[in-house]
Structure 1
Amino acid sequence: MSKHGQIVKIAGPLVVASGMQDANMFDVVRVGKQRLIGEVIEMRGDRASIQVYEETAGITPGDEVETTGAPLSVELAPGLITTIYDGIQRPLEAIRKVSGNSLQRGVEVPAVDHNKKWSFLPTAKTGDRVVAGDVLGTVDETIVVKHKVMVPNGVEGEIVEIREGEYTVDDMIAVVRLPDGSEKELSMLQRWPVRVERPYEKKLPPDIPMITGQRTIDTFFPIAKGGTAAIPGPFGSGKTVTQHQLAKWSDVDIVVYIGCGERGNEMTDVLREFPELIDPRTGESLMQRTVLIANTSDMPVAAREASVYTGITIAEYYRDMGYAVAVIADSTSRWAEALREMSGRLEEMPGEEGYPAYLGSRLAQFYERAGRVICKGSDHREAALAAIGAVSPPGGDISEPVSQATLRIVKVFWGLDSALAYSRHFPAINWLNSYSLYFDRLQSWYDDNVGTDFISNRHRAMSLLQQESELKEIVKLVGIDSLSPADRLVMETSQMIREDFLQQNAMSDTDSYCPIDKQYRLLAIILHYHELAEKALGQGAKMNAVFSIAARDRIGRAKDVPTGEYQTVFADIDREMAGELEAAVGGAAK
């Protein structure tokens, strides 16, 4: 039953109401005559501090506050995919139809369409014993996503009735007799509080890579399925492009993209581009497996704080169906700024740079909901949820609190470098600053599925790049001509690794995505050149002859070879390279 209180104080998005003794922490409330949506974030006696998720202009002391008695929750049902929500799961397209292009405050629109009928096909039958997480049946949510309707958490018993046909999300589709003899009607709709992690049976080790088709990521700094990663970088360094590439090419079934406090024009680009992008896995629009959470910087700051919880709860729901899911949050810095503002209005003791002292624990709560798991249910489905967060440190300074708190939690760090971006090296991931802590876990997968020398080749390439960085300092002082032939070779090979391997053209049809086997063979050719050239120089070949062989040009163009042809072309390049270097040794002997 709803309870009422009265506003006694207003401070921006923070409202204090008295007479709220029947409210609980994190209850959703309706504020004022316009029934603005808010959430209780602090209780002191009968006074509740409420963060309001809409503009509070026009609200005055004495206005009524009504609590719903339920925490902030999301609706989970068919219809989530392809929808664009704001930070508290209000469907923006449906709101536009109600209020026009200028969004009005207090608009109440359900998160999913409660009138649309879905074709429900049962997979369970009358007499089956079911537990929480078991699949009752399926719905074709989009042309590429089969939505699995599951038994809600806390329900267990025997199916006494299950129906096939066209139903809305509220209609009864099954009846389960509970252990106490009572019967419970089930529909396709579930509600789940966003701040509570959805349960699973067991967490599995992160020992399968999430293949993205991006060479810098897959070969040098891989992320596991169910892993966590951060993409810090200054303005203009390519965070958004990198995230678009991950959304488009990663081998996941569902993408949840959270635009958390980003500029409106950046989110507009996402909203325009994603429906037009063709999903390479299905040939359909990328939106057919995507949920977008759009909470831009001009929207109320309080809703920004809720947006990441909304997004990851939706992602957990699809993970529970047995899907591999990726949550991409852009950016957690804006989310942390929302925490800082609300903490300041609550007059809490500030931490470093004004951020709340609990910043690290809140970030951890978000990233720790990722993982590869055995889902609830009798069939023990295996699924994964990866969490990738962009960080926007002011001026690109990653020593600031949000970046440092994030780095203590995540296992992969893709550090974007503005100098690389300005030199048109994309993706602008700095290979000397970035890291991945998943190599030990992923070693056996790479050995079994790619090549036993995949990891060792990566380490050799990294060693050459680090040597190049040291040699560049010497070259600045004394010039490149003072280097020995062996050091000159390190510089040449490192340049090939940077330009012919790490650089990738997101606008190219052939280079935008690179299969893992092609990555392996391309890097192997470059390292094979280094080995043969080192041997040739040791046998007296001249540097110019070794560095100017025609095969090097072919290696430079190798990444643009179509997927179906690269094995033959790479083998030809390898033979040509060996012959030319052998000729260079012979020429020196003469």
Structure 2
Amino acid sequence: MSQADETQTETVSEDGVIESVSGPVVTATDLDARMNDVVYVGDEGLMGEVIEIEGNLTTIQVYEETSGVGPGEPVENTGEPLSVDLGPGMLDSIYDGVQRPLDVLEDKMGTAFLDRGVDAPGIDLEKQWEFEPEVEEGDEVEPGDVVGTVPETVTIDHKVMVPPDYEGGEVTAIESGEFTVEETVVELSSGEEIQMHQEWPVRQARPAENKETPTEPLVTGQRVQDGLFPLAKGGTAAIPGPFGSGKTVTQQQLAKWSDADIVVYIGCGERGNEMTEVIEDFPELPDPQTGNPLMARTCLIANTSNMPVAARESCIYTGITIAEYYRDMGYDVALMADSTSRWAEAMREISSRLEEMPGEEGYPAYLAARLSEFYERAGRFELINGDEGTISVVGAVSPPGGDFSEPVTQNTLRIVKTFWALDADLAERRHFPSINWNESYSLYKDQLDPWWTSEIASDWAEVRQWAVDVLDEEDELQEIVQLVGKDALPEDQQLTLEVARYLREAWLQQNALHDVDTYCEPEKTYRMLTAIKTFNDEAFDALEAGVPVEEIQDVDAAPRLNRMGTSEDWEAFIDEIEADLEEQLRALY
């Protein structure tokens, strides 16, 4: 029953009384509460959270629109912190910032616009799931141990675990069959009963035994990211960029094609039409790993720009807590937060209403600490049951006017180890993804190179470094070209510019809307790069033999390099190009 429904049948216990209302910030008196307790505010029972206690005054941030709420109305304290419902049914679901299922509420309300005070549990408490035990009576289990599995979707088996705050003990009763999430499936000698349903406070990280160094890449299927600026499984990345530079599309590409087991996508304060695109696209997209619908391994959290600002502040924590729960099952989870700037703006608005001392550009002084707390929950973890799981976090940043020196971008850069800088100039030239290769970096390269070398190609690091050197040289030469023109350069430098052009157009550009080019496996990323290097090596050999640079540039095979990404039979196509390049260029001398 929703809180609004309850107020119609019984009087809310007047634990406290509203004294003042300022937007989403409400002040109450005589409320017996602790920090971060969830409360229900006003006659309509609007959900809120205690954020400040001073004497008899308690300050609450309300997760819903507060118009019409006035002094004298009651405030009821639940005595519990803001928590999420964890259990089977979270995948293939769409939630708001405080884990209310939007599709369930839409059915309940009969409209996409939700009334205030409505509520619903995060997972279906009535649905029955097929529970298959993994342990037997007499087995000893500890916190974090898997006691059974449930086929949550066609792609993912949900692992039912001993909650981390349990003692554990000997299994005294367990049976297979169909159960709701609130029914007991395992009984322990300690008297504890295990259900498929857990709750966990969102602002508290779930426990793990150890945080380890990531050694395996999160394969994204995007050449510029896998090839030049890789992200580790368990790593952190930021995608800053001005309006229209492609942050959302880049994150959606990562959500669609990265080789994570589970994807948690948080639309945090973004435009509703962008989130609508995600909600409409994802259910129809096939998963490249399994062929099943992509939503079968995806959980969406939608808190668009027209939703209450306080819920935007909490949606990041809701998402990372859900990600930690699947990490505890041993899965590799990728979390996309779009965008952390809107989250920071929500913090700034609430902080200003609390009349806290502002920091740089009006953001609260604790902005850096909050960002750190969030990104620190990513990582490769040894779990409390001895298994291993990872959370990779990719946060989009929307700096006003594309100014990377603003506080959110700068504080994020101090924390994350991969930086994909989006460039408005590249976007205007229709170069997508518009990741600026001169400003971006990855600090995971060295620890990931052994994986690339053993799994993809023994000379992966050398070939990548060659590409980086060519692009760096092109950047220096472009300054000279703008002064004196390309024709004034020596022929070897003109040829370097030609090779760099193919690196940019054939390799770094990738068409997210093309059926073939939207995803590029690592082997193809490597082979495309070596094909351009073949052109480079053969072209410079011809130049040294006295062939004019114009003749080298005019060989028929070279322009076909631009079609490598869109070729379905790419292996044969690249083999053919390399053979033709060698034949045609050697024929010139």
TM-score, normalised with respect to structure 1 = 0.96
Q: What does residue 166 of structure 1 align with?
A: 178
Q: Is the 8 A contact 1:3 1:68 kept in 2?
A: no
Identity, % of aligned pairs? Answer: 55
The answer to whether the 8 Å contact 1:2/1:69 transfers is no
Residue 307 (structure 1) shift: 0.2
Which of 519, 522, 527 is matched with 1:516 structurally?
Answer: 522
Alpha-carbon distance in structure 1 between the residues aligned to 2:512 and 2:566 = 12
Q: 1:343, 1:2 → 2: CA distance?
A: 29
Q: Does structure 1 residue 10 correspond to structure 2 residue 14?
A: no
Q: Secondary structure at the match of 2:587?
A: helix
After superposition, what is the alpha-carbon deviation per residue over 1:242-275, rounded to whole angstroms, capped at 9, x for unaligned?
A: 1111011100111100000011111111111111
Answering whether residue 582 of structure 2 is matched by residue 578 of structure 1, we say: yes
The residue number in structure 1 matching 2:561 is 555
CA distance in 2, matches of 1:454, 1:241: 28
Q: Give the deviation of 1:452 after TM superposition.
A: 2.4
Distance 1:92 1:308 in 2: 17
Q: Would you say the 8 A contact 1:542–1:584 is kept in 2?
A: no
Structure 2 match to 1:149: 160
Distance 2:53 2:559 in 1: 69
Structure 1, residues 23-72: CA drift from partner, whole Å, max 9, x if none?
Answer: 11000001011010000001112221100001111211111111100000
Separation in structure 2 between the aligned mates of residue 546 and residue 395 of structure 1, nearest angstrom: 43
Partner of 2:464: 458
CA contact (8 A) 1:122 1:163 kept: yes
**Could you tell me how far apart the structure 2 residues matched to 1:584 and 1:514 are?**
34
Q: Distance in 1 between matches of 2:91 and 2:564?
A: 38
Structure 2 residue identity aligned to 1:262: E
- Secondary structure of 2:184 counterpart: coil
| Cα distance between partner residues in 2 of 1:261 and 1:415 | 21
Counting only pairs closer than 5 Å after superposition, residues 187-198 of structure 1 correspond to structure 2 as 187-198=195-206
Is 1:2–1:68's contact at 8 Å kept on the other side of the alignment?
no
Partner of 1:83: 93
Deviation digits for residues 345-368 of structure 1, max 9, x if unmatched?
A: 111110000000110110011111
SS at match of 2:586: helix
CA contact under 8 A between 1:372 and 1:383: conserved in structure 2?
A: yes
Contact between 1:3 and 1:23, CA under 8 Å: does it hold in 2?
no
Which residue of 341, 346, 357 corresponds with 1:349?
Answer: 357
* Separation (CA, whole Å) in 1 of partners of 2:308 and 2:449: 45
Could you say what secondary structure the match of 1:79 adopts?
A: coil
- 1:97 aligns with 107
Equivalent-residue separation in structure 2 for 1:560 and 1:190 (angstroms):
46
Q: What is the root-mean-square deviation in Å for CA atoms of aligned residues?
A: 1.3
Trace 1:329-348 onto structure 2 (pairs within 5 A): 329-348=337-356
How far apart are the structure 1 equivalents of 2:181 and 2:345?
37
d(CA) in 2 for partners of 1:95, 1:154: 31
After TM superposition, the structure 1 = structure 2 runs for residues 272-311 of structure 1, keeping only pairs within 5 Å, are 272-311=280-319
SS at match of 2:28: strand
Alpha carbons 2:214, 2:234 under 8 Å: kept: yes
Following TM superposition, the consecutive aligned residue runs of length 4 or more in structure 1 with deviations greater than 4 angstroms are none
Distance in 1, matches of 2:414 and 2:229, equals 17
Distance of 2:258 and 2:196 partners within structure 1: 29
Deviation at 1:108, TM superposition (A): 2.2
1:88-487 matches, within 5 Å, as 88-101=98-111, 102-155=113-166, 156-178=168-190, 183-377=191-385, 380-487=386-493
Cα distance in structure 2, aligned partners of 1:554 and 1:95? 53
Counterpart mapping for 1:32-71 below 5 A: 32-71=42-81
Asked whether the 8 Å contact 2:13–2:74 carries over to 1, the reply is: no
1:491 aligns with 2:497: yes
Cα deviation code 1:406-461 (max 9, x no counterpart): 11111111111111111111111111111111011111111111122211211211
Q: Which amino acid aligns with 1:103?
A: L
Please, which of 30, 33, 37 is the counterpart of residue 23 of structure 1?
Answer: 33
CA contact (8 A) 1:324 1:385 kept: yes
Q: Are the counterparts in 2 of residues 325 and 386 from structure 1 also a CA contact under 8 Å?
A: yes
Q: Is the 1:312–1:327 Cα contact (8 Å) retained in structure 2?
A: yes
Q: For residue 566 of structure 1, report the CA deviation from its aligned partner.
A: 2.9
How many Å separate the matches in 2 of 1:127 and 1:201?
25
CA distance in 2, matches of 1:450, 1:3: 65
AA partner of residue 474 (structure 2) = E
Residue 163 of structure 1 aligns with an amino acid whose one-letter code is E
Alpha-carbon offset, residue 333 of structure 1: 0.5
- Write the distance in 1 (CA, Å) between the matches of 2:206 and 2:241: 31
| Structure 2 partner of 1:588 | none
Structure 1: stretches of 5+ with no match in the other structure: 586-590
For each residue in 1:365-398, what CA deviation from the matched residue of structure 2 results, as whole angstroms up to 9, or x when unmatched?
1111001112221xx2221110001111111111
Partner SS for 1:173: strand
Residue 286 of structure 2 contacts residue 292 of structure 2 at CA under 8 Å; is this kept in 1? yes
- CA deviation after TM superposition for structure 1 residue 18, in Å: 1.0
**Hey, what's the Cα distance between the residues in 2 that align with 1:19 and 1:570?**
74
Classify the secondary structure of the residue corresponding to 1:312.
helix
- Residue 532 (structure 2) aligns with: 526
Q: Cα offset for 1:3?
A: 7.5
- In structure 2, how many angstroms separate the alpha carbons of the residues matched to 1:313 and 1:300? 21
TM-superposed deviation, 1:572? 2.6
